[in-house]
């Protein structure tokens, strides 16, 4: 199994002492090469589930196993290594470093993996070419459109050659045509490179890109099924 979450619960503790259940006993299994989408109303725990999968959040209880490696009780170093080596992140707000050029932003994860600057540069340029930004390598994020910024974020997510890309509302800030472009790009990466993609989305159209669609409601699994099976039933 590529990524398995068993009975994951996550509670947030408010300052006034009350506990909020963001996730309750959620169990999901994702196989390598799948494109999974997580949908649900606001506050249903979509992002919490995604961040837990990505080693960004520790669950209050339950187990997370990635390629046989337990992550639920891992320390900071192990989680950092996991994120550095295996995961690429694409976020709604792009999360680009504002004072670095497109090329430098893509080089950040590369700097953790290799010391050769020339090689880092070469890889970054190749990745930016892959997302169609060869002519924007020296541009700062503020000099790029929303779609271009998201493509830089995708190039950065690809820079560590990840087996898993976690995308949190990657099209949330984009107009429909740009959103379709980004979704197509993610789908292409999934199909051509075999990268497993887990994407949180509000949009039914975006959710339809997934071959596993996970529905959350009030922190609980509402539905999860293979789109292929759904199509057969229809």
Residues that bind other proteins (CB under 8 A): 22, 47-48, 51, 55-57, 76-77, 80-81, 83-85, 89, 91-93, 95-100, 104, 107-112, 115, 117, 120, 156, 160, 168-169
What's the CA gap between 223 and 215, in Å, rounded?
Answer: 5
Measure Cα distances from 50 to 102, 122, 128, 213, 228 in Å: 25, 31, 25, 13, 23
Cβ 34 to other proteins, closest distance in Å?
22
What's the CA gap between 5 and 27, in Å, rounded?
Answer: 5
Cβ 201 to other proteins, closest distance in Å?
13
Q: Is the separation of the CB atoms in 39 and 100 below 8 Å?
A: no
Q: Is the separation of the CB atoms in 23 and 191 below 8 Å?
A: no
Tokens linked to 119: 């090689």
Cβ 132 to other proteins, closest distance in Å?
22
Q: Is the separation of the CB atoms in 215 and 223 below 8 Å?
A: yes
Tokens linked to 212: 């596993």
Nearer to other proteins, 79 or 180 (CB): 79
Nearer to other proteins, 12 or 205 (CB): 12
Cβ 97 to other proteins, closest distance in Å?
6
Nearer to other proteins, 155 or 211 (CB): 155
Nearer to other proteins, 84 or 187 (CB): 84
Nearer to other proteins, 86 or 136 (CB): 86
Cβ 165 to other proteins, closest distance in Å?
13
What's the CA gap between 76 and 197, in Å, rounded?
Answer: 24
């Amino acid at each position: 199994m590529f990524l398995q979450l068993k009975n994951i619960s996550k509670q947030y503790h408010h300052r006034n002492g009350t506990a909020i259940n963001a996730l309750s006993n959620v169990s999901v299994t994702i196989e390598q090469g799948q494109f999974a989408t997580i949908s649900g109303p606001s506050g249903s725990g979509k992002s919490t589930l995604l961040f837990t999968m990505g080693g960004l959040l520790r669950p209050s209880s339950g187990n997370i196993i990635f390629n046989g490696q337990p992550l639920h009780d891992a320390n900071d170093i192990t989680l950092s290594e996991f994120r550095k080596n295996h995961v690429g992140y694409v976020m709604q707000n792009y999360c680009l470093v504002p004072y670095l050029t497109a090329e430098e932003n893509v080089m950040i994860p590369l700097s953790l993996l290799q010391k050769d600057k020339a090689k880092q540069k070469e890889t970054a340029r190749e990745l930016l070419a892959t997302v169609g930004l060869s002519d924007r390598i020296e541009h700062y994020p503020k000099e790029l459109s929303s779609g271009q910024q998201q493509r830089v974020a995708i190039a950065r997510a690809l820079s560590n050659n990840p087996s898993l890309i976690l995308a949190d509302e990657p099209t949330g800030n984009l107009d429909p045509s740009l959103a379709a472009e980004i979704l197509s790009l993610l789908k292409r990466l999934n199909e051509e490179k075999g990268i497993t993609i887990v994407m949180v989305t509000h949009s039914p159209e975006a959710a339809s890109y997934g071959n596993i669609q996970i529905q959350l409601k009030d922190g609980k699994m509402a539905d999860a099924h293979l789109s292929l099976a759904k199509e057969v039933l229809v």
